[in-house]
Structure 1
């Protein structure tokens, strides 16, 4: 009897040790708000007011699985799978030709971590997503995406078929390198992507810088977010010549400082899309950019985005938010630059550590380009007002 009890105790100890060596956690966010927008473009060519229930106003609704296994000697195996969904409909969030149903479209990585840093392989965001914590994305999230943070990748745009290396924190500095495979036989550069980033944290000060570049075409391009389609797919003989050419180049510089209860921040981004020429856009059916209807921010040759903002903790539970975003866009064959300015005000009240209520109001004004709007374009109308009231729960 004593031997049996001893054997059970030993087995229990081994089982406990084995369990302690690895762990898997489930997490998620459900974010939904009621949104009003004025002057949304209608199918008839005019504009009208729009009310809607939007999923992911601040952060995209998601469910994720994260795991780590201790391999010994300070080395660990890690993985992260994250699926996005639309809480207002229950459907999967987004899809594209290269990822099919996109079950884990937000993140799908596996790798190793240790004293050397972390190496991850799969579908993942570049380092711009990390330094977005120093920008309005930290407070307003997706509410600022159309103002420019979606184009400069601060919203966390993903790279397929990628491998990344991130250093550990060294004296406040963290660095990152990323490479995305184009996976096209005979032409390595077609569809490939690469990025680099650096951040510095020292008490209340946060600084960050990133660069990202992606090449056109490829059978399985690393960057599937390029707009228009002329940058990612070969549809005609004219566009075939663009394989391996740089389609997107993006730079970000961000800074944030905590003054007691107030965080103040500012940033600058530049995006160049060399293939967004009049010839390429016309080939894909866009038409002349001399028409205001075609001057979308995503079709610009070059865009500069500037932002200043603050988040003030009125109480431990209540934050008051403000940010101004200004964009200047250049279009091929069009003299002058399109301009757009967005003014954001908001409040965020935390009912608990995991649940908060938020309210945002924005006013967007554009000239010589299509107003991107908050969630929906306004067409050729120069201004739009938008309001959102919602709830976010993290688990």
Structure 2
């Protein structure tokens, strides 16, 4: 590497802010399309691995962790797609790293919409990471991608979680974590650094095709907004950062809420049941009646906040969404109306009764029951959500 490379050194510093050093000790698969951003990410991670490999023998693992460069050739642009693949293979050879290329199966889904293509790549990355013994999957999403993602979510009417945008690290497929160490880095910075060190890349002509929503936002919408609001990228990134802090606080409260007001019920061949104790009735005469409560194993409520927070719909909704994630119940069909309905059932102060009544159903054939002091969710095993 030339000694006079200020752009590269600045890029290394930006990358280092979000790159977990432990990743170099357990193996990384880095997705590379052949564009400037992903080629830059390969060079950065390779640099981090070589730096880790240069540590003293006492700290070096007996078996070097793998660094795998993965490229998925969708074969949508004929010779152009093949040229992208050749560049990625040549890059891997120049760094003496393993390159694995995936392609769509001949009999596979011919869909080429954004969602289908993204899911195809993701499945390939996860499968390859598993076979190669990698714990982390690194992708080259930049600060510009983050701003576009937040705007896209806003236009689609996202909830509060969607305003946080992408996170630097996200669990995927149980055993793996997606890393996005360039989320604080601008695309222009990456291109300048690659030019400075003499690293070539390829421009994907399909990135100019505004039929894809992401390209439309990048090529048409964002430039138009900048004519009136030049700092729109920074504004969207601030929105994401502020919402992430708010969401972190809400997630902490939701976790405490579940500890206090949720209890796992029985699980058998037909499914499982979850019980929500109504926080509005804590300390009431109904709550002191322990007959049904003991039947589902309630412990003493440990809630160190006031009642208004315990019955707040935002806290309860976040708690329910957290529970769905923990129970591996997909939330795709749960609309805002469903979440609000469930939260209102839980926070309601019903008339005292020991009768168990049906409140209705939620998507996925989840049946909801209510007594005077709790809400029950019955999730069948044959549900598409279970």
TM-score (structure 2 length as normaliser): 0.26
The structure with the greater share of residues assigned to helix is 2
TM-score (structure 1 length as normaliser): 0.25
The structure with the greater share of residues assigned to strand is 1
Q: Highest Rg: 1 or 2?
A: 2
